[in-house]
Structure 1
Amino acid sequence: MEVFLYLLNALLICGLISLLYRNPGLQSIKKHLLPALVLKLLAGILLGLLYHHYYHEGDTLTFKNASLILSEYALQNPAGYVKLILFNEFESEAFRATVPFSRLPDFSNSFFFTKLLSLLNLLTNSQYYLNSLYFSLFSFWGTAALVATLVKHFPKYKSAAMLAFLYFPSVVFWSSGVLKDAILFGSMCWVFAVAVELSEGKRLRILNWLLLPFILYLFIRIKFFLALILLPLLVLFLLIRFIAKRSGSLKQIKSQIAVLLIGFSALALVGLYLAVNINDAFFLRNLVYTYEGILELSQERPHISFSSLEPTVGSILVNAPKAFLSAVFRPFIWEAVNVLYLLMSLENLLILALAILATFSLFKNGLKQITLLQVCFVLMIICFGVIIGLTTPNFGTLSRYRIVLLPFLVYLLLQNQYIHKLLAKLRL
């Protein structure tokens, strides 16, 4: 039976890879599909080995153990399992107490991910590394869709897109394996790819329209607060592009950018007002609570600390610059306390060097061309950087959480004239 399951999964995975490789929408990056996919799959395996044999604890192991409880329950009580999966109904409070993340099942993204993993267990016989291959493949699928879309519409920066999304070390590593981040990153990239296609006036295939609600649901359920920022921004972006194609009033890119900045600022003000007034500033209090909870566990290692972080708009705005810069550039090289921190700091040193080059290029050469999509990326990077920096003082966790902004940042930084010319000479 076990041999049959392995054979079945091998055939399924090979079939999915074949479909991916023959996907007409990915042909512009076809020669990079297999090497980048192998890298992604290996990263997922390496992540599992790291947590199993080095850390001996962590989210991926907690998810694995929690999903085993649900999968065993599925075999014992199929009807009860279906109710649990669809409606979050537990047969008893005693059973609920045995399941991690189940205190608020309707709101917990960790419990939602555990349910997804338990469903996959039924196919893979709860084999962790088979599950890792499926999650890594899903993440890669969404990433490849975005890269191919960017290459198709912005071919000048083909190398930048591939390096930033398919090969940048921490992005590849932390968006792989049995973690929520693999689902988050794959769904987020896929949503972005759809938005870019629509903004360029392209028709989506019927399959994409059918998949869109499911992918959106995954994105929203895994990271609601990120979706709350990104989806309104994308809707505004698409609306502006739609009007620009049909009205002379927004033909100029400067006008489009001005409307985007004004519209997003208005949305941000509404968001801040709601954050302060809904349920006694629940969002702001939860933000500070999350920061303090992680900070308490991070005292023995270098971490982000704020002199005073309060659940008020003023405090959030005062600490926002430090939060953003820390999310992007820390840990610094002198903050490396072990090999993993050293690798993180070396990557951050590269990002800092790219940022300095991009700044120098900007002052010397100016902005010769700018697109509305680039401005969207900048707004998203700033918002995500501030929120992640404020809520994640632990550098290990920060390196994982910031993958939602890092490849977009690297993609923009690689577009400076010096790096662009270098990549052209190297034919990358």
Structure 2
Amino acid sequence: MSVIVFFTNIMLLLLLVWWLWKQPCLNSIRPYVLPALAFKLVCGVLVGLLYHHYYKEGDTITFKNASLILSSYAKQDLTGYIRLILFNEFSSESFRSSVPFSRLPNFSNSFFFIKLLSLFNLLTNSSYYLNALYLSLFSFWGTATLVTTLVKLEPKYKMAAVIAFLYFPSVVFWSSGVLKDSLIFGSMCWVIAMALELASGKRLEKLNWLLMPLLLYLFVRLKFFLALLLLPLLLIYLLVRITANKTKHLKSLGAQLVAVGLSACFFGVIGAWLVKEYNNAFFYRNLVYTYDEMLKLSVGQPSIKFTKLEPTLSSMLLNAPEALFGAIYRPFIWEAANNPLHLLMGFENLVILLLTIVAIAALLLQKKRLPTPKQLLFLLIILSFGVIIGLTTPNFGTLSRYRIAFLPFLVYLLLQSSYVQHLLQKLQAKPHF
């Protein structure tokens, strides 16, 4: 990589950081922005070092090598490369066979990510770590957008949002670097932020309206099954909140909670029935297949093991509690054995367990109050994502990465307990980040 290309990209990254820093929406969390961004960018680099020098294999290395094939093709046949990027047209079958995940290019999210990465290669002259910085910055932008929205809607939970989304270790680490998760997490946070803004009656900025179709497509294209769970929940929440502003029947908090809960249950039942009747239980069979394949990666190691997982709705429901518990609280510290990454995950899970105990104690010992519709929305996201990810991801290493889709929402809710809030108010008065 030439020195000119390197410094040009560094200047472009600094320009993007400056543009982000100047956004007025960040005023509410400005003391935490630069430290959180630095943490994010460092994690993007550390992800690459972890895979290249510790694992010495993995998704990010496969994506990098595959994108290099496409970038090299762009230099040889630019017209053919453009047709490949836009229409998934390969010049030959032999060329197709040389690119991983290209067997079903119209459906593979990994191949879609490889194409995007090859475009970054053209900008960075195929620098892995410059690509990591760009993707980490995108992820941070989407995350910060959601945090500022949450702070705007509920200022008293500012520190809870900042810690859960911008500083919680595994969330920041696994949503950084050259991984699909960087784009998935960033676009998902952005989509949720816009839905919350609309539901609160706020006007979206013109830039957000322009970006909405692109980022919504990016999220759906990269993680369809999560989008299939999330988008109906957001739509239900949005409709209930908008209706509440126009009719007296949904003015009360209890009525809104009932409307969101019943609507979510109704669409869940309809969705389960459609999967069974019109898809020949393909979803359930694919879920069991994914679980079995992941379990093979955990031979001789602790993992989430179900007594009997079958491709039926009844089997999924019976195993759902264990799947959810495992996705949130495992591995335990004593299950880490000699695996340092599992040990770090175990310590993090211990913190989550302690926060859960404190939150339950606060609910039982103090005056009971109804949750807000937004809290119920986040709880439904945690339950649906947690069950699906727990059912399909018995391997703890992979679980640590996949569960970032719901983990910050759980931490955000747990940090809202009155006992924890008392401590966070002190942190908010004197930022320590």
Shorter-chain TM-score: which interval? over 0.9
What letter is aligned with 2:38? V
Separation in 1 of the partners of 2:27 and 2:60?
33
Q: In structure 2, the residue corresponding to 1:300 is in which secondary structure? A: coil
Task: Decide whether the 8 Å contact of 2:197 with 2:204 is kept in 1.
Answer: yes
Question: Normalization by structure 2: what TM-score?
Answer: 0.98
Give the CA deviation at 1:369: 5.1
Separation in 2 of the partners of 1:364 and 1:106?
54
What letter is aligned with 2:377? C
Q: What is the match of residue 209 of structure 2?
A: 209
Q: In structure 2, the residue corresponding to 1:40 is in which secondary structure? A: helix
Q: In structure 2, the residue corresponding to 1:28 is in which secondary structure? A: helix
Separation in 2 of the partners of 1:278 and 1:385?
25
Matched, 1:323 2:315: no
Q: What is the match of residue 282 of structure 2?
A: 282
Q: What is the match of residue 372 of structure 1?
A: 373
Separation in 1 of the partners of 2:370 and 2:15?
42
Separation in 2 of the partners of 1:256 and 1:348?
33
Separation in 2 of the partners of 1:298 and 1:369?
41
Q: Which shows bigger deviation, 196-205 or 136-145? A: 196-205
Question: Normalization by structure 1: what TM-score?
Answer: 0.99
Give the CA deviation at 1:423: 1.3
Q: What is the match of residue 95 of structure 1?
A: 95
What does 1:172-321 align with in structure 2 at a 5 Å threshold? 172-321=172-321
Give the CA deviation at 1:370: 2.3
Give the CA deviation at 1:138: 0.2
Separation in 2 of the partners of 1:334 and 1:374?
32
Q: In structure 2, the residue corresponding to 1:246 is in which secondary structure? A: coil
Task: Decide whether the 8 Å contact of 2:146 with 2:189 is kept in 1.
Answer: yes
Separation in 1 of the partners of 2:302 and 2:368?
37
Separation in 2 of the partners of 1:368 and 1:20?
38
Q: What is the match of residue 114 of structure 1?
A: 114
Matched, 1:357 2:387: no
Relative to 1, partners in 2 of residues 1:288 and 1:366: Cα closer, same or farther, differing over 3 Å? farther
Q: Which shows bigger deviation, 78-87 or 378-387? A: 78-87
Q: What is the match of residue 133 of structure 1?
A: 133
What letter is aligned with 1:266? F
Q: What is the match of residue 402 of structure 2?
A: 401
Q: What is the match of residue 76 of structure 2?
A: 76
Q: Which shows bigger deviation, 270-279 or 13-22? A: 270-279
Separation in 1 of the partners of 2:153 and 2:18?
25
Give the CA deviation at 1:366: 4.2
Separation in 1 of the partners of 2:411 and 2:368?
17
Give the CA deviation at 1:368: 2.7
What letter is aligned with 1:358? A
CA-atom RMSD in angstroms: 0.9
Structure 1 portions without partners, runs of 5+: none
Instruction: Please identify runs of 4+ aligned residues in structure 1 that moved more than 2 A.
Output: 366-370, 425-428
Separation in 1 of the partners of 2:33 and 2:323?
35
Relative to 1, partners in 2 of residues 1:173 and 1:256: Cα closer, same or farther, differing over 3 Å? same
What letter is aligned with 1:83? R
Q: What is the match of residue 30 of structure 1?
A: 30
Aligned length: 428
Matched, 1:410 2:394: no
Separation in 2 of the partners of 1:231 and 1:205?
21
Structure 2 portions without partners, runs of 5+: none
Q: What is the match of residue 43 of structure 1?
A: 43
What letter is aligned with 1:356? I
Q: What is the match of residue 152 of structure 1?
A: 152
Give the CA deviation at 1:26: 1.5
Task: Decide whether the 8 Å contact of 2:254 with 2:370 is kept in 1.
Answer: no
Q: What is the match of residue 17 of structure 2?
A: 17
Deviations 1:138-170 (A, max 9, x none): 000000000011111100100100000000000
Q: In structure 2, the residue corresponding to 1:242 is in which secondary structure? A: helix
Give the CA deviation at 1:300: 2.0
Relative to 1, partners in 2 of residues 1:241 and 1:123: Cα closer, same or farther, differing over 3 Å? same
Deviations 1:171-222 (A, max 9, x none): 0100000000000100000011111111111111111100000000110011
Separation in 2 of the partners of 1:230 and 1:178?
24
What letter is aligned with 2:389? I
Q: In structure 1, the residue corresponding to 2:245 is in which secondary structure? A: helix
What does 1:375-394 align with in structure 2 at a 5 Å threshold? 375-394=376-395
Q: In structure 1, the residue corresponding to 2:107 is in which secondary structure? A: coil
Relative to 1, partners in 2 of residues 1:89 and 1:368: Cα closer, same or farther, differing over 3 Å? same
